[in-house]
Structure 1
Amino acid sequence: MATCEKKPRSFPVPVIASVIPVSVLLLLSIITIFWRLKRGRLNVSLSSSVGLSRKELSLKSKNQPFTYTEIVSITNNFQTIIGEGGFGRVYLGNLKDGHQVAVKLLSQSSRQGCKEFLAEVQLLMIVHHKNLVSLVGYCNEHENMALVYEYMANGNLKEQLLENSTNMLNWRERLQIAVDTAQGLEYLHNGCRPPIVHRDLKSSNILLTENLQAKIADFGLSKAFATEGDSHVITEPAGTNGYIDPEFRASGNLNKKSDVYSFGILLCELITGQPPLIRGHQGHTHILQWVSPLVERGDIQSIIDPRLQGEFNTNCAWKALEIALSCVPPTSRQRPDMSDILGELKECLAMEMSSKMSMHDSVEMNLVLDTDMTPNLR
């Protein structure tokens, strides 16, 4: 009986020649992706959901285009105005699933045009962080342009710091807002590749949730730089009076440290309750000019917002002020990085919370001692 020996299969030379280059290319692609991941070059897309709640993730995942007819319906024919800025008016809206949203409509007279609108859409489609306002969707229908954001129940920080504000922020809340804002800005500067410079950081662009979590808004003027060391010469207007980096104003050179200066002014606002430009009988005084002589005298009580009525830890207040002043030297090279600022602010917040806990424990101990020492009258 004959046995049949199974011969090994042979592949034609052309097939082998075509498979090898494809395999090599595939291997190189995998190595490249792994290397970029290790280097953090894909941070924008891969770390985009860090710190987001389930509700925020459900909103973020939409990023849907809306028709102008849908925008009219969502806002109930633009019935309720909840804000206004350089881009246009902001209206309260309601989606079909029950989520409240804020709809920013580009006005015909807006100084921010189509270019800034598209820049904001593109950035918010890829940049996501718990301390950045999330984009739900957008409308780009001929001359009708709108951005649809998550709704922020407590408005903006500027409103909360006004003298006639009904809900006065306490010291711990102010420090937490500072930490939240620093986290959002640090993510833009160091968590994104390329780094993103906000360019118009100010109290009206810090929005607050119902739990007073702070989120940075208004990316219409943002610039993404090719490398961390880059600075760009900007010819068009950027920033808001009182917050603008003096070095940028003089030279037009924009970099991450321009945002650091603006953050320092914002922190001074939180500490003092004063606006960046303080109105007086002889015109406006910049907040740094107002605070400098008080710092020289060591008069922290006159620096801290008087509405707090002394309800703050003095050491913590001085530390917060030192952090703020470290952000505002006239030259950018003298200013710290946002990662260092964030670390210092977290220490400051921990100091305040520790002080409150110690005070609470002390009060409880006194109550116990008072109870033990009360005579038992029969």
Structure 2
Amino acid sequence: MESLRSFPDGIRNCYRINVTSGTKYLIKASFLYGDYDGEDILPEFDVHIGANLRDTVSVTKASESEEMEIIHVPPQNHIHVCLVRTGSSTPFISSLVFRPLNNQSYKTDEGSLVGLALSYRVDTGFTTSDPGYRYPQDVYDRYWPSDDPNSDWTSLTTSHTIESNNSYKPPSDVMSTAAAPKNPLDSLDFDLLTFDDDNDTSEYYVYMHFAELELLKAHQRRIFNISYNEEYWAGPYAPRYLETETFYGTSGLMGGHHRFSIYAVDNSTHPPILNAYEVYIVKRFLQSEANQNDIDAVTILKSTYGIKRNWQGDPCTREYLWEGLNCSYDGNYDAPRIISFQVLTEDAIRNLSSSGLTAEIPPSISELTMIQNL
């Protein structure tokens, strides 16, 4: 990335991206500072998805890109991605990418009420020459870095293509390697790279990807269970030869310590394997964006009348309510409604009311069905 866009003016600057409501999207943003402004001051600012805080961008090295990924199902036919100034530094962005996903992937027990922010993903079948994979190997342009070598693990590989017919579609290059314990009698044990703090209130989802890489003989079998914090989690499971399958928990994982163990069952002749896994943090979308028809109507009014106000993002976000608008909130997940707006000063209104001007009212104003004062 050799270019970026900065936003020195205003508190909140937003992109409005047209999407298909109800479709699951992978949203990726990158931020490479590169000391573009010559200030040599590492920026810090917030990123919002719709009316909700996604995360804080804290640049730690000018020459390294900060990356954000979140999986989200928009309830409306657009998404606002906003950069919010929180201090003296200027927000900026290097790239913003939307990738539609299969709606059957990355499921949670709360559906579209939550987003999943990437914590990290790992290609566990580590090789020293493996730089990691993304597009075109990955159709969704997810980045799969190699795992750090584990002294208790070894790597299995195959030159055959791995079929990824499941909804997650991890790339064949990732799935063609797998980790296995060096001692066939051992289990594959690993801890999630989280805060490891009993006071951690984050909620995590883990998605594990498996594919058998060895053509086992009739009397051979690889069957294993998965435990979480020494409690049964999934299995018994026998991975299919050259076919990808994905395991995930039906509910999020809470707490500060998360340890997984993949262990062979008694009648298994081969040790357990793990090809790749992904870890996501739950982000709850507690504030709904304004009613779709209301947003469309005021957007048309702004364009029709050439309103020169810095109306950015969702109009009813409480902290950043559009100037001149008032909204109603029911306290649930229903979209806020615009109930009044005033785009002119009191003097201007008096002048216009006595001027005898006549003009058609845009039909879009009829969409503001909850309006009480205009």
Normalized per residue, which structure has more helix? 1
Query: Normalised by the shorter chain, which TM-score bucket?
Result: under 0.3
Normalized per residue, which structure has more strand? 2
Q: Per chain length, whose mean CA-contact separation is higher, i.e. which structure has more relative contact order (CA < 8 Å, sep 6+)?
A: 2
TM-score with structure 2 setting the length = 0.23
**The structure with more radius of gyration:** 1
